């Protein structure tokens, strides 16, 4: 398959690229990749699809939003998170569906805090649930058998170590397998969760 991997240089995305590249042609896109895209800018997403052309799958392992308790989050935090992790991924579907070959797949990323909220995850939980809600309904209206599903990664071990949270979480290589599984789904609007 020809797979466009948005965010393919990140902690999860790098492992997904590694898991896919032996069997598939993987095109990585991000703000700093050879194929450039800024998820928060719809025109940049449209330009990316114009550059890359038709693909068999679009996988997103990008999307950011701020951690923080309710009283600590600013208007800008909400606007940034909604424009980036939610609208950016929604726009991958809205602008990208015509570039996905018949029967192909689009796979977005939410996260475990959709199901396990905590006080500091107000925005993250909101964004993850928004991505999942969007996909559950949008998946029902896509043309030509194009599938839309979501991977909800758990805390990644490499991220926990980088953040100084200790040795906890799932190794990125195991999280990458969730994306491989997600691409093999026959159904639509599904959430791939750990375990």
Ligand X SMILES: NC(=O)c1ccc[n+]([C@@H]2O[C@H](COP(=O)([O-])OP(=O)(O)OC[C@H]3O[C@@H](n4cnc5c(N)ncnc54)[C@H](OP(=O)(O)O)[C@@H]3O)[C@@H](O)[C@H]2O)c1
Contacts with ligand X, residue ranges (CB under 6 A): 6-7, 9-13, 30-33, 37-40, 61-64, 84-85, 109, 111-112, 153, 155-156, 159
Classify the C-alpha dihedral 55-141-12-127 as positive or negative. Answer: positive
**Closer Cβ to ligand X, 52 or 155, answer by number:** 155
> Are 52 and 29 in contact, with CB atoms under 8 Å apart?
yes
DSSP 185: -
> Are 56 and 101 in contact, with CB atoms under 8 Å apart?
yes
**Closer Cβ to ligand X, 64 or 177, answer by number:** 64
> Are 17 and 5 in contact, with CB atoms under 8 Å apart?
yes
What is the nearest approach in angstroms of ligand X to the Cβ of residue 143? 25
**Closer Cβ to ligand X, 26 or 37, answer by number:** 37
What is the nearest approach in angstroms of ligand X to the Cβ of residue 189? 19
What is the nearest approach in angstroms of ligand X to the Cβ of residue 147? 20
What is the nearest approach in angstroms of ligand X to the Cβ of residue 102? 27
Number of CB atoms found within 10 A of residue 58's CB: 28
**Closer Cβ to ligand X, 103 or 181, answer by number:** 181
Q: Tell me the residue ranges of DSSP E strands in the chain.
A: 2-6, 25-30, 35-36, 55-60, 100-109, 147-151, 191-192
Write the DSSP assignment of 44-61 as a string of letters: HHHHHHHHH--EEEEEE-
**Closer Cβ to ligand X, 156 or 188, answer by number:** 156
Which residue has the CB atom at the shortest distance from ligand X? 10
What is the nearest approach in angstroms of ligand X to the Cβ of residue 61? 5
């Amino acid at each position: 398959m020809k797979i466009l991997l948005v965010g393919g240089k990140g902690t999860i995305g790098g492992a997904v690229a590694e898991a896919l590249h032996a069997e598939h042609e993987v095109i990585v896109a991000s703000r700093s990749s050879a194929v450039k895209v800024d998820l928060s800018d719809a025109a940049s997403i449209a330009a990316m699809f114009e550059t890359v052309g038709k693909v068999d799958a679009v996988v997103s392992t990008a999307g950011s939003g701020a951690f923080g308790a309710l009283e600590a989050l600013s208007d800008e935090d909400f606007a940034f998170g909604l424009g980036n992790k939610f609208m950016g991924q929604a726009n991958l579907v809205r602008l990208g569906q015509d570039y996905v070959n018949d029967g192909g797949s689009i796979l977005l990323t939410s996260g475990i805090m959709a199901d396990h909220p905590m006080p500091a995850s107000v925005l993250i939980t909101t964004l993850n649930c928004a991505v999942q809600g969007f996909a559950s309904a949008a998946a029902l209206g896509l043309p030509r058998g194009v599938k839309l599903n979501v991977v909800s990664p758990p805390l990644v071990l490499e991220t926990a170590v980088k953040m100084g949270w200790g040795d906890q979480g799932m190794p990125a290589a195991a999280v990458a397998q969730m994306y491989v599984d997600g691409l093999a789904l026959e159904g639509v609007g599904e959430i791939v969760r750990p375990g």
